[in-house]
Amino acid sequence: MELPLFHPFENEWFTFGVFFIAIFILIGAAEFFRSKLKWNPEASRKMVHVIVGIMVAACPLIFRSNIQPMTLAVIFLIVNVITLKSHAFKSMHATERTTYGTVYFPLAFLVLAAFFWDKPITLILSLLVMTFSDTLAYIVGEHEKKPLKFTLWEDEKSLQGSAAMFLSTTMIFYIGTDFFAWLFGAAFFLPLEVLIACAAFTGLAATLAEATSSKGSDNLSVPLVTAIAYEIFLINYTHGSLPVLLLWTLGSAVIFYGAYKMRSLNNGGTATAFVMGICIFGTGGIQWITPILAFFVFSSILSKLGKKSAEATQKGSNRDVLQVLANGGVPMIIAIVHFFHPFDLAYVMYLGAIAAATADTWATEIGFFSKNDPRHILNFRSVEKGTSGGVTLLGFVGSILGAGVIALIGSAMTGGAVPVEWILIAGFVGSFLDSVLGGSVQAMFKCSVCNKETEKRMHCQMHTSHSKGFKWLDNDGVNFVNTIVGAMIAFMLF
């Protein structure tokens, strides 16, 4: 059956106008009832969340092109930013906690409409999970008399809410996959055992994405992770590699749990690394997972050997969500994009990003063993160990070794098709720029108690004051830029 199923008007821009007005009428009605009936702010916000979620999930059934849905997403993205800052439309934004979920949701819809429009079942089901499962998780967690609470990042969750998230997501994909396949006239249906496994696999990924959130970021991560996990499962099934993917899923759970017990990752970092590993292995197999797994294992070993003082680094070796994303986010994005839209030099860029992350990490870990104090990379003055922008000769050696290891692994994985020297250069240049940024524009703070300069926003159990650099650019941001530079240098060299 050809999409869309319904044609309200011949001109789709006219349909868009009616659709747009209908959404605002419903939001206005929610605002009216909230103020008149004195509804709980969070309850009215969730009601709007469900209304808008249902309507945007229906877009593939109404619009032929994704231009109108993407336009809708951009408009709501702008409107929500403005109303959030002006405290308007309290039925949308009012909540007892700080959240940017109303901004993240249209951003997620924009990405899904841009890249998954030709996969309508994936798009619809992913939005329905955000619409219903996320809401159900909140309701269960809030109304449970004795919630078992936990925090993986910043948002507090409950085990009961996460269980509701997993079960409802699994049911949505279990029922929705066959229903929409029938509705759209699909050529084949999944065997029952495969359908159950697919629904549970996707439910697990969605639940971890919802649990690992900060200030409503799950409104972005849940739809995207859900869509990617669903597609990864289905494509690996059709290609005959599903048993290997499931074996990796079980094996990586053991690996990252071990890393958690060794304090190489905290609980949020463990969940993030697990999902990241599924995405990378599911999209590229052993060839793609090996370099980043080597980075993690070797870097963790070096961190344990390094016996640093608490002051040496901002966060230490117990990596959290942001540290995992800062070092592995760019490689994961490259792997996912290449999976859906293959392009030349994707693996080269992937290796360049990981080489840069490894070079920077090894420069710090190995450089810490230097008997001489580091020198600031810009003014060459002697600085304390752990100071951003501080470099040593031994650290440079560590940087080269780290990038070289990833280059050798990448070359071995491609049968020598990737020249070692280019990946090594990409990694070293990225690491060098990391030091330059760390010593110039990275945010630094001053402790009012001990009067020391630090990268930390909290020191001596007190909030620090911003002293220099861009306040929004912390060490994780610099590391993220480092991996982008490594990927781009590798691309240009090849």
Query: What's the number of domains the chain is made of?
Result: 1
Report the run of H or E that residue 150 belongs to, with start and end. Answer: strand 149-151
Q: Is residue 366 part of a domain?
A: yes
Conformational region of residue 306, where left means phi above 0, alpha means psi within -120 to 50, and beta covers everything else: alpha
Q: Is residue 379 part of a domain?
A: yes
Q: Residue 311: what pLDDT? A: 43
Q: Is residue 123 part of a domain?
A: no
| Number of helical H runs and strand E runs in the chain | 18, 9
Distance of CA 18 to the CA centre of its chain: 34
Amino acid occupying residue 342:
P
Provide the residue range defining the domain that includes 425. Answer: 356-493
What are the distances in angstroms from CA 377 to CA 133, 193, 398, 402, 445?
A: 50, 58, 16, 19, 19
Structure tokens at 114: 């841009």
Positive or negative, the CA dihedral 392, 398, 399, 401 is positive
Structure tokens at 485: 């530079």
Q: Give the residues across from 458 on adjacent strands.
A: 463
Report the run of H or E that residue 350 belongs to, with start and end. Answer: helix 346-367
Q: Residue 312: what pLDDT? A: 44
Q: Give the residues across from 390 on adjacent strands.
A: 376
The answer to whether 427 and 406 are in contact (CB under 8 A) is: yes
Q: Is residue 430 part of a domain?
A: yes
Cα separation, 35 vs 467, in Å, equals 43
Q: Give the residues across from 382 on adjacent strands.
A: 375
Positive or negative, the CA dihedral 99, 105, 106, 112 is positive
- In order along the chain (494 residues), what is the average pLDDT of each group of 10 residues? 77 92 82 68 72 92 94 92 69 59 92 95 97 92 89 93 97 96 84 96 97 93 97 96 96 93 92 97 96 94 66 60 95 96 95 97 90 86 82 94 97 92 96 92 84 76 82 90 97 92
Q: Is residue 163 part of a domain?
A: no
Residues 359, 361, 362, CA angle at the centre, nearest 5°?
65
Length of the chain as a residue count? 494
Pick the closest to residue 56 from 96, 3, 109 (CA basis): 109
Q: Is residue 370 part of a domain?
A: yes
Positive or negative, the CA dihedral 271, 276, 279, 280 is negative
Q: Is residue 478 part of a domain?
A: yes
Q: What is the dihedral of CA 258, 259, 261, 267, to 10 degrees?
A: -120
* R_g (Cα) of the chain, nearest Å: 24
The answer to whether 44 and 94 are in contact (CB under 8 A) is: yes
Q: Is residue 461 part of a domain?
A: yes
Residues 229, 233, 236, CA angle at the centre, nearest 5°?
135
